[in-house]
Structure 1
Amino acid sequence: MDTVFAGWACLFNRNTTEINTMAVMMQAFYWDAPKNEKKEGEWWNFVAEKVEDLSKAGINALWLPPVSKGSSNQSMGYDPYDYFDLGDFDQKGGVKTFFGNRAELQALIAKAHEHNIGLYADMVINHNSGADEEEVNPLDGQKRWTKFAPKSGRFPRDWNCFHPSRYERVMMPDEENYAGFPHLCHRNPVVYTAMFDYARMLIEELGFDGFRFDFVKGFGAWMIGILSKYRYVKDGAEFMPYVVGEYWSGAEDINAWIDKVNALTDNQISAFDFALRYKLKDVCDTPNYDLRNLTDDGAVVMKRPMHAATFVDNHDMGDNVIVNDKMMAYSFIMVHEGYPCIFWYDYYNNGLARPGTPNGIDALIQAHVKYAGGDSQILHADPDLYIMQRVGWKDDKTEQPGLIYVLNNLGNQWSGTSVKTQWKNQKFAPIAWDGHDTAHPDERTTDGDGNSEFPAPPRGFAIYAPV
């Protein structure tokens, strides 16, 4: 079996939207993180303490939680009340947000930039909560909490800023509503202008480098298109942010949304690859899962890797988190194309970073950064064994020589098979591995035709690099 997935190799820096195979982001929070870590109102400071180590590990960007004051100062921010209160106004139970204040956020951003780490802002522009008064919407006679008088003095709003509104005849479908919160009508010029002001503040004043848009199926793709295409100015130069959307659905729906939103802008807007994530959960948590399911196009990364942000778990998964052998999932996203996202809770709280060992996320980051370049080519796939090579890539400044990746689904033995690689008479050394047996794999050498056997531990993986 020999399947090729298109590779891509454009350099990421904080002045473009471009991401390369060397880039790795981290979701720098989990649900109720400040409370669980006893860092209420101090999360920005807490993350700042980790920046230097994360940079050394190879993280190039942090996705931060929503920065604005929600309906409570103990809120995770997905119920925005005052978009322009970053923790400096005494409202909704206190001055600071759950995460801190504006000065602390700016200090975190500055420190991250000093260590070549970008910051992505979580954009919750669909629904609001915490209104100050109920009022009757004259279009349907319904009473709703839609009267907002934020202490920042910016973006006060009433019923006509929400659906149903005089600015748009079509109401949001019931299935796209979120938690019963009122939904903003972006076609109202007041709302439209406020969202631009908010985005400009994040990029031009605070220094964010990109956006993660929350719950994008709940509003028009055109809104993301125009916020992405706006000509932001940063450090005296025009700036284009990295943009990724959360479209929680299958691959077909996500691909359709990517087509729609990218038709509105010349940005390369991405989406989180939920389809791949659920395949990886099955790999880890479903007994006897057929690894050949990883070879089809039922994931965004397999069809359009330039638009795929891959991940294993996030703050929304709740009881659906991956329970068993999670490193198998991380190994897969870290050797394939796409822009992998590491979950703070897995890295720190679940102890999967494992610095200084070949068995953790840190070793996978190094494999990703140093070796995982060029196209992916599947060399072998059966129900219990998956072997792939990255063919390598280089330009005048950078080289990633490629790798061999082996995923073993068997729970009771090391497993491998002879495959024909692109490398002839080439020695390979194991650079990362984990499983139910963590013994050191042996080096391998291909013959004159490029053949060799590459094994991996039971319920685990091994990554081999040319030396």
Structure 2
Amino acid sequence: MKRRDRFYLNLTLILSLGLLFSSCSKDEITELQPKVQSTEALNTKTTNNAGVLMQAFYWDVPSGGNWWNTIDSKVSSWSNAGFNAIWLPPASKAQNGKYSMGYDPFDYYDFGQYNQMGSIETRFGSTTELQNLINSAHNEGLQVYADIVINHNSGGASENNPYTGTDTWTDFNPLSGLFDRNYNDFHPNDIETSDLGAFGGFPDLCHKKTHVQDWLWNKSNSVAKYYKNVMNFDGWRFDYVKGFNPWVVKEWNASVGGFSVGELWDGDVNYLNWWANEANSSVFDFACYYAMNDAFDGNDLTKLNNNMMWKQNATKAVTFVTNHDTDEIWNKILAYSYILTHEGYPCIFYRDYEEWLDKAKMNNLIWIHNNLASGSTSILYSDNDEYIARRNGWNSSGLIIYINSSNNFQERWIETNWSSSTIKDYTGNSSWEPVTQSGKWVKIQAPPHGYTIWSTK
């Protein structure tokens, strides 16, 4: 007989002992059950659940200029599911024209209306289709975040460069007539040999140049203000921020406002937090990403005790399970159950939601995030196979998340914030509806290779 079958056969007996357990003291319970870890809150800040971010693309989405229309057809359902924003790929014309994913930018003001780089439309569509998508998203209550690539450029013509003594591909004369640039605007130049990092051999923009600052964020028709005021983007995802100093993002944000997040690909929490504070921006929580990979694929849930950006600075942490550049975590549904119940701003990858995972389970987790997951976090228990944490509640009653990576059903006594209250599992993975004791303790369970999420009825 399977463990699960034995478990349900004994369910009636367990429930019949409820009155006996309810008369036990906390000390008596912990003598019978393994003690939990300290319930000290990891972060004293509470976060307002603003929603969930959708990364609305993946690498090499279908070419042919129809991607904006594809996303346009989905924004209503995404809004209904509980997303609050979408992140689009780099939207302007790049060197590879209709074949480019946008990370080799040429003309920041060509969204698919000029015949250059071998095409009029971008890989994703036309300017009109992009504007229609943004309008549709706004009508559905969704914000739209632009992917901003300002470390490097591509597609310039060759010119003699006195700073290198060679010809360089640094002569940019886009058909939009806006933000022309030459060797003076790239590294090396008369004021700076290099900044923090070049990428892929592309010409590396010098952000200390007045001409570059004016066209990126200072002028009334700068890239930042054009994206904000003409194209109506609401926020920014900054690509490869390791390549330049954080003051660049800070200046951009001061110029136009809006949400921003930086791609600082590093697992060092202190570095992530330093950058976020210096840039006045959120940052992707790569420390959390690496810890989840070790925890869920390495079969050691104690790795979730590691320090992460959301634990150090939750209001500036964007958590994620995968993205267009990296897809290492295989136990994805457990990872999503983690980021959608913990602090930080969770980002969901398009293909995970639309193609690879159970959408009903994802929608359930999104609902739980938006309705139950608030307040500070306390880790109640962890070992190789089990992890239990409590969100202590802010404008809702909070929750308990129980993740079980073992091959068997697991049960454990834990301390809640609820006294003499009926609770239930909001995932439907357990049919139990136990009553917490007057001392707030209760036994909960989780299925093998699964999770349960508990809160008051």
Q: Given that residues 8 and 21 in structure 1 are in contact (C-alpha distance below 8 angstroms), is that contact kept between their aligned partners in structure 2?
A: no
- Measured after TM superposition, the shift of residue 9 of structure 1 is 5.1
- Measured after TM superposition, the shift of residue 7 of structure 1 is 5.4
CA RMSD of aligned residues (A): 1.5
In the alignment, is residue 61 of structure 1 matched against residue 85 of structure 2? yes
Q: Which runs of 4+ in 1 moved over 3 A?
A: 7-10
In the alignment, is residue 29 of structure 1 matched against residue 95 of structure 2? no
- Measured after TM superposition, the shift of residue 246 of structure 1 is 0.6
Of the three residues 437, 450, 457, the one matched with 1:460 is: 450
Of the three residues 192, 203, 212, the one matched with 2:213 is: 192
- Matching of residues 212-361 of structure 1 within 5 Å: 212-230=237-255, 232=256, 240-250=257-267, 251-262=269-280, 269-286=281-298, 288-289=299-300, 291-297=301-307, 299-317=308-326, 320-323=327-330, 325-354=331-360, 360-361=361-362
Matched AA of 2:75: V
Tell me the distance in 1 between the aligned counterparts of 2:366 and 2:182: 47
Q: Deviations over 1:140-177 (max 9, x none)?
A: 313321111211111121111100122x324135xx22
Matched AA of 1:409: S
- Matching of residues 20-99 of structure 1 within 5 Å: 20-35=48-63, 40-72=64-96, 73-99=98-124
Question: SS at 1:228's partner residue?
Answer: helix
Indicate the residue corresponding to 1:15 in structure 2: none
Q: Given that residues 295 and 303 in structure 2 are in contact (C-alpha distance below 8 angstroms), is that contact kept between their aligned partners in structure 1?
A: no
- Measured after TM superposition, the shift of residue 363 of structure 1 is 0.4
Of the three residues 172, 176, 188, the one matched with 1:148 is: 172
Q: Given that residues 82 and 366 in structure 2 are in contact (C-alpha distance below 8 angstroms), is that contact kept between their aligned partners in structure 1?
A: yes
> Structure 2 length as normaliser, TM-score?
0.88
- Measured after TM superposition, the shift of residue 260 of structure 1 is 2.2
Q: Given that residues 174 and 180 in structure 2 are in contact (C-alpha distance below 8 angstroms), is that contact kept between their aligned partners in structure 1?
A: yes
Indicate the residue corresponding to 1:374 in structure 2: 375
Tell me the distance in 2 between the aligned counterparts of 1:388 and 1:426: 18
Which runs of 5 or more residues in structure 1 are unaligned? Answer: 11-19, 233-239, 263-268, 355-359, 395-399, 434-438
Q: 1:109 to 1:8 in 2, by over 3 A?
A: farther
The count of aligned residue pairs is 414
Q: Deviations over 1:226-281 (max 9, x none)?
A: 11011x4xxxxxxx30111110002222122123223xxxxxx1100011011112
Q: Given that residues 5 and 302 in structure 1 are in contact (C-alpha distance below 8 angstroms), is that contact kept between their aligned partners in structure 2?
A: yes
Matched AA of 1:191: V
- Measured after TM superposition, the shift of residue 8 of structure 1 is 4.5
- Matching of residues 106-125 of structure 1 within 5 Å: 106-125=131-150
Q: Deviations over 1:290-312 (max 9, x none)?
A: x2221232x10111101100000
Matched AA of 2:289: R
> Structure 1 length as normaliser, TM-score?
0.86
Question: SS at 1:444's partner residue?
Answer: coil
Indicate the residue corresponding to 2:7 in structure 1: none
Which has a greater percent of helix? 2
Tell me the distance in 1 between the aligned counterparts of 2:44 and 2:52: 16
Tell me the distance in 2 between the aligned counterparts of 1:404 and 1:22: 20
* Seq. identity, %: 40
Question: SS at 1:194's partner residue?
Answer: helix
